[in-house]
Chain A
């Protein structure tokens, strides 16, 4: 628990224009030294240095509470940073020592692991609607960016298979609100591996089911997350899109999640217009996320040495998955998506994730531009040494003279059209990088048919 170590007077300091600690009361100087700072060197306490930079940039006095480390304890400080010419004056107060934070869901040293940790490679937790509320950091090696799954259904991450008695253990556990073990599963985005899920039911104060907390064990053939090392800042001097993606995605995810919880009135009833504002915020946030994703993809596909993976894939199955991902959006507009039947398969050579990305883009566009109560068809067929997926809609169609334009960067058919104008450009570049292409067949008033072709690998 916290120990109050009050200090009577504020502790002062001064940073020069380069962020160097040029003046410091003894206690601040000690904090700087303990953080690894050198005499007259840049302030080594990053939270305070950041605040000083903010104050300098804004030209305003900024005051914040920060948590800094001092030896083995944490220190709660109130920091005031005030620009003074090119320098920044610091005034620190509070100085409350706190025991270092130990996250509640980490096992304490010496305490036996909980049952569901015993054989787990990584861990997950859902709410009562089976939407993921957290995934442990270890999962990154397998699924890459964890943040995009938080808030999504567990089934967006896994496809479940029958257990030992030809039933889904997780389904039975959900019905009975009891624990489950050895639920076979495959990752939707990397179907090559086999996993087993186990889970414990979470029970709230009313005795109601509140979700599951569980573990994932890799059984066999698990693939590592797509290696984006080629895009890491260490190997590429200016991977701006990737850095922007990493820096912006998490905070925008939180904005969208918070706005959605406000819109859903999870904390209590709201005036209708407030709920609408929250919905607008969430929508704007999702648009930003899509734009960030597009910019990151744009940088990747435009690199000269960009080379997607070449692996055996089932185009029909990927088409069904893409249709599934867009089913909610289609349902909102009462659009029926006619995907390839379950027993249909179409072999091709390509990068599974990138092909899924392309088809999500094509089907998403079809759903967006199709009128309500209409239909979108997805067909797969082989044409010689090419495998093709056709996505057809009943939208307003595209004039011949506009058809080349829609594949250009930042082109939209109208200023009011949604999106960044990058989707088809990126999709076509991806398709071509895999030895295929995307073409369109359309006319005004006659809907549009987009055709993705990829090599079958035969001939």
Chain B
């Protein structure tokens, strides 16, 4: 008797098989949940994502893909040289229909670790800034920078204001505009979204592959070129910081109290001779050690430095049971001079790829 004949003759056997399969799935799922719970419990507390961070990362990541996708979908729809395809046009033109993200997720290209890192950093900077602004003041000297002058400093101050406003959504949610993403990551994303749209058009809507290739790659090329002209939040902050006395503790205090985290990072990076892109990783250290090293290397005096570290720790701290290890960073401060602190930061002055490789090989750190 064929297998089908056997099954037909033994419906009870089919049911038993289905029940067994369901039991195996249930058991596996229970095991997976327990493993995930164990991982979360054993992760050091500061490394665990809060609900806010999780949501912000997801939202920032999705919006970034959407921003690229909107541009490319619009370009395809506007391409007169493509043969008409009403089903493709309908779906491309429907803003609520997600196309690129599901394809990239299925291909394992999303979530992208680089984007998650950028989104986490942006989310944390934004949240720290928000908390600092609640208790702080706008700052006289910094507010006056935009003022009456037509010099490069006023322009740089205005450019930073523009970049800061672009980094916020209408309800003060953090945003990572495409222009704020490092160029190499940005262009990689643009081409990934282009590839996803190409796949969608050809596979789902039978669009001619060569025509779609021409259209979508032309649009991606143009978008990459346009974005090269943009400068993001960190560039704007670094440009303004370069025109100011970065080692001025009072200016640092004003920037921090006003919640202008990017500018604070720019000033600190300029004074400690660390690229602004690496400053938050240090300043945002929940134990305060990285921040203390930066300030020490920048030549800030002990009292002013301690005040800045405590202010930012207060804005970073989520859990009162983990106050941030104040004694350790203060001890390090007292044991190092500015030059010593600067040497400890040498690792952060290396080229990013070199630094990452050293870290991976396990021989990174101050040496």
B294 on the interface (CB 8 Å rule)?
no
Hey, what's the 0/1 contact readout for A180-213 against B, CB within 8 Å counting as 1? 0000000000000000000011111111001101
Pick from B71, B101, B150, B162: contact of A205, CB below 8 A.
Answer: B101
Interface size on A, residues (CB 8 A): 44
A-B interface, 9 closest residue pairs, ranked by CB to CB distance from nearest: A205-B102, A9-B150, A205-B99, A93-B158, A114-B86, A200-B90, A205-B103, A206-B102, A115-B86
- Among B74-82, B244-252, B349-357, the stretch in contact with A: B74-82
Q: Which residues of B contact A65 (CB under 8 A)?
A: 162, 165-166
B98 on the interface (CB 8 Å rule)?
yes
User: Are B93 and A210 interface neighbours, CB within 8 A?
Assistant: no
| 22 residue pairs from A and B, CB less than 8 Å apart | A1-B71, A4-B229, A8-B150, A8-B152, A8-B155, A9-B155, A63-B161, A65-B162, A78-B161, A104-B74, A104-B93, A111-B84, A116-B86, A116-B90, A125-B94, A125-B96, A205-B200, A210-B97, A213-B90, A213-B94, A267-B58, A268-B54
User: Are A104 and B77 interface neighbours, CB within 8 A?
Assistant: yes
B253 on the interface (CB 8 Å rule)?
no
Complex: chain B residue closest to A271, CB-CB:
B51
Q: Which residues of A contact B159 (CB under 8 A)?
A: 93
User: Are B146 and A268 interface neighbours, CB within 8 A?
Assistant: no
Secondary structure at chain A's binding surface: helix, strand, loop or mixed? loop
A positions within 8 Å CB-CB of B: 1-2, 4, 8-10, 63-65, 78, 80, 91, 93-94, 102, 104-105, 108, 110-112, 114-116, 125, 127, 133, 179, 200-207, 210-211, 213, 267-268, 270-271, 274
B111 on the interface (CB 8 Å rule)?
no
B341 on the interface (CB 8 Å rule)?
no
User: Are B58 and A268 interface neighbours, CB within 8 A?
Assistant: yes
User: Are A105 and B86 interface neighbours, CB within 8 A?
Assistant: no
Q: For the side of the interface on B, what is the size category? A: 35 or more
* B136-166 CB contacts (< 8 Å) to partner A: 146, 150-152, 154-155, 158-159, 161-162, 165-166
User: Are A1 and B222 interface neighbours, CB within 8 A?
Assistant: yes
A203-B204, A205-B98, A205-B200 as given contacts; A10 in contact with B155, CB under 8 Å = yes
User: Are B51 and A270 interface neighbours, CB within 8 A?
Assistant: yes
Q: Which residues of B contact A93 (CB under 8 A)?
A: 155, 158-159, 161-162
Q: Which residues of A contact B90 (CB under 8 A)?
A: 114, 116, 200-202, 213
User: Are A204 and B158 interface neighbours, CB within 8 A?
Assistant: no
Q: How far is the CA of A31 from the CA of B234 in the complex (A)?
A: 31
Q: Which residues of A contact B62 (CB under 8 A)?
A: 267
Q: Which residues of A contact B328 (CB under 8 A)?
A: none
* B308-336 CB contacts (< 8 Å) to partner A: none
